[in-house]
Amino acid sequence: MESKKALPVLFAVMFLVMVGFGIIIPVLPFYAESMGATPTQLGLLMAVYSVMQLLFAPMWGRISDRFGRKPVMMIGIFGLALSFFFMAISTQLWMLFAARIIGGFLSSANMPTVMAYVADITSEDNRGKGMGIIGAAVGLGFIFGPAIGGIFSETGLHIPFLLAGASSILTFFLVMFVLKESLTRNDTQAVLTKKVPLHKAVKGPVSILYFLQLFISVSLAGLEATFAYFAAEKAGLGTVELGYVFMIMGFAGALVQGGLVGRLTKRFGEGIVIQIGIIISAIGFSLILLIDNFTTAAIYLTIFGIGNGFIRPSVSALLTKKSTTGHGSTTGLLASFDSMGRVIGPPLGGLLFSISIGLPYIIGILLSIVAFLLYRVYAKNINQLQVKVS
């Protein structure tokens, strides 16, 4: 079922969710330090959220297949609001950890459910476009959120958390009153009848796409964790310049996902777009090694961001077409692999950076090559299966 009305609403929902999430990013380290957090504890505070997403995103995806997208989405957004308000009133470090654990557990429902909703309402030809639009919303939310958080943190470190909570409450009511359920009773009954075990999703050719996304996520998270230090040492960039660099990259990635991914996947198919994205990302990693000023940092990081922007929406679209599990189970498992990459990537990137400042990006190139080869293996296996069937 195609729906032109639902996609703009989903765009707004994910934009507001990510604005709320982004608002706290520049503030959380200082907020935790004010409660006595050590660098190690701060790292754990950041990681625990991704760990909860890793563990529970598949569960929420399966629940949305069974009971509908809208109620699960509302649970996820309410959980996000709850965690933000809890952080705002926190006075001790354990309270911040509790808030992050609660937020990670409940909000892990958001991304897989929204992606599954897109898969429900789009035809296979327009699936890539729908996933790209959601990817653009995520990217834009990450651009505006940190900027808002940075501005309002000057009033008080707890203020951004209140704003993030208010943004989530607004999103909750947007879903409640404007968004319609995408699944019919027949759809949920069909899922119950099929009852495909989730472990079967990580068997066969389709499973390769999950691991492809894992390698891409590890390389991206490693870059995000180390680029500020790398750019400071190689090009003398400060926090303001870095903010602008990431903003330029974010806008470029959002434009690509919102406008170009859909057209390219419709014309050439998701496979070609995934491969193009991986190649451009690898080129971006190579160029990042050569940065020496603000301009080169902005251009080279943007090239990487454009390549990365091609990959996730195309992988999501292809998986929802090929997987034998429900859309929610599929996108939930993909979100879990993505979170696994975000758990592994930062400490791995930091370790590599401590050995040699360019090593995270050299490894990024190698991981991109591995991801490209994984797609070629997937394509070969799919072709062989089609030959056997015919």
Mutual angle of helices 239-255 and 294-322, in 10-degree steps: 40
3-state SS assignment for residue 153: coil
| pLDDT value of position 27 | 85
Overall pTM surpassing 0.85 (yes/no)? yes
| pLDDT value of position 146 | 85
| pLDDT value of position 187 | 59
| pLDDT value of position 112 | 94
| pLDDT value of position 191 | 54
| pLDDT value of position 26 | 78
Distance CA 299, CA 293 (A): 10
| pLDDT value of position 4 | 65
| pLDDT value of position 234 | 93
Phi/psi at 161 (5° precision): -70, -40
**Residue ranges of the chain with pLDDT lower than 50?**
1-2, 193
Distance CA 255, CA 249 (A): 10
> Within a 13 Å sphere around the CA of 162, how many CA atoms are in the beta-carbon half?
8
Map out the domains of the chain with their CATH numbers.
1-194 (1.20.1250.20), 196-390 (1.20.1250.20)
